[in-house]
Structure 1
Amino acid sequence: MMNEYVYVASSVDEAIKKGLKDLFLTEENVKIEVEEAGNNGILGLFKKEARVKLIPLEPEYDKEKIKNSLLKTQPKVSAVPKKEVIEEPVEEIKEEVVVKEENKKREDLIVLNKDKIVDYMTKIVHSMGFDTAKLVFIEEGNKNYTLRITEVESTSLLIGKRGNTLNSLQFLANNYAKKFTKSYFRINIDCDEYRENRKETLEELAINMAKKSKKLGKPVQLEPMTSFERKIIHNALSEIKNVETESHGKEPHRYLVITAK
């Protein structure tokens, strides 16, 4: 039977990092199950912490053995011998490196590895109990991609309150895909057109809160949101005169304050 380890933290990201550090493993060596996506509550109240389960893929995995092995193999500090300088022809190597770098720039490494990303995320979604779910990879352009989850019986359960579960899955997808490229990219995870509907809701909220701020004659504070959702609010109010938006706090509790004069 495979060993299972559960970790709790303020966010899914922190819980996974905590677990990997504790187990001396990387994401490629474990199966990750999100048991609780967690949420920030309302103004800090009724907050729920994220809870993840990490299952090492190696059946014979033993954390204590690995820990002891790492301690034994730590190198002792000693005098560094001088390296013998060997002259080698440089021009051909330089040319070869330049060609390889140019080829890498032309290739879209996320698209090249899309099947691996889809397989990885499909396993996670299935492990959450959505056995019939299928994921479709979509290129949106400008290094933006969407993983659309279809054939799910309970979409509201998968989406979670205010998209918390989708946001956690989105974090896992982007974090996993970082292994394939160091360039900028963004993977959005969507289900039942939630992202577009949420965008419209946030834009409407932004206008209403700006009106409220002007009526009350004082700033209005919104609940904590992801950076992507805060950007939607910023953009919705950016063209309106005498309305300012400012971000306050630290992730994952960062929130917006709207001031209308």
Structure 2
Amino acid sequence: MRQVTATGQSVEDALSSALEQLETTKEFVDIHVIDQGKKGFLGVFGARPAIVKVTVTLDPIDKAVTFLKEVTSKMGLDVNVEVTRNGNDIAFNLAGEKLGLLIGKRGQTLNSLQYLAHLVANRYSDKYLSVSVDAENYRERRKETIEVLATRLAEKAIHTKKDVTLEPMPSFERKIIHNALYNNKHVHTKSIGYEPKRHIIISPKINN
């Protein structure tokens, strides 16, 4: 739970300060007034600031689930969100009908949802959370496709003795290629460029 203790000339001022520090709003917090404060004589003598302790009560995972349901609902989809947690790794699996729209070309829409869900969850968490979003087992199918692609392009690099440049990919997909070719003795891989255009180059090893 994220929590701050804030002061102000009044309880409302102290609360506003706490909400600003936590970057949230009243509906997502628990408010405990430690001291109502005191204006004092002429607003100076004997004055005492108000003190409040404010705690974020909304679970970051619940917030991410709410976000995913709201977005998919606006897309005209009725989606159930299944959550699996392993330590700080959070997996959201979307189940429903017509999820092709949600996945998008080469998973671009799904990747965007994953990025936004990651931002939402971590905004409300005091620990870093690694977030993945999947639908219709797309991630596993995509992983298999990328591994086949990596093998095929590695063979091309070996045959032509020239570098093979892949199109830009998100970091987790680039990692699949690096891992797939890690033990290949005839090529090596490297990522170059900057997001969102960072991409992989597969190069034949000179000794081969």
Same fold, TM-score > 0.5, yes or no:
yes
Q: 1: distance between equivalents of 2:156 and 2:101?
A: 32
1:233 counterpart = 2:177 = yes
Q: 2: distance between equivalents of 1:175 and 1:168?
A: 11
The residue aligned with 1:166 is 110
Q: 2: distance between equivalents of 1:215 and 1:28?
A: 57
The residue aligned with 1:118 is 65
Q: 1: distance between equivalents of 2:125 and 2:63?
A: 13
CA shift for structure 1 position 144: 1.4
Q: 1: distance between equivalents of 2:175 and 2:75?
A: 30
Q: 2: distance between equivalents of 1:28 and 1:209?
A: 48
One-letter identity of the residue aligned with 2:61? K
Q: After superposition, what is the alpha-carbon deviation per residue over 1:178-202, rounded to whole angstroms, capped at 9, x for unaligned? A: 1222433211100000000000111
What CA RMSD, in Å, does the superposition of the two structures yield over aligned residues? Answer: 2.2
The residue aligned with 2:153 is 209
One-letter identity of the residue aligned with 1:138? T
CA shift for structure 1 position 158: 1.1
1:190 counterpart = 2:137 = no
Long gaps (5+) in structure 1? 1-26, 30-108
Q: 2: distance between equivalents of 1:255 and 1:232?
A: 12
* Aligned residues between the structures: 153
CA shift for structure 1 position 115: 2.1
1:245 counterpart = 2:189 = yes
Tell which structure's C-alpha radius of gyration is larger.
2
SS in 1 for 2:62: helix
1:144 counterpart = 2:89 = yes
CA shift for structure 1 position 240: 1.3
Matches within 5 A, 1:63-102: none
Q: TM-score, normalised by structure 2?
A: 0.68
The residue aligned with 1:59 is none
Percent identical pairs in the alignment equals 41
SS in 2 for 1:145: strand
Long gaps (5+) in structure 2? 1-22, 26-55
SS in 1 for 2:123: coil
8 Å CA contact 1:211–1:260 kept in 2: the answer is no
Q: TM-score, normalised by structure 1?
A: 0.55
The 1:145/1:201 distance shift into structure 2, 3 A limit, reads: same
CA shift for structure 1 position 114: 2.2
The residue aligned with 1:133 is 79
Q: After superposition, what is the alpha-carbon deviation per residue over 1:13-68, rounded to whole angstroms, capped at 9, x for unaligned? A: xxxxxxxxxxxxxx968xxxxxxxxxxxxxxxxxxxxxxxxxxxxxxxxxxxxxxx
SS in 2 for 1:178: helix
Q: 2: distance between equivalents of 1:230 and 1:208?
A: 15
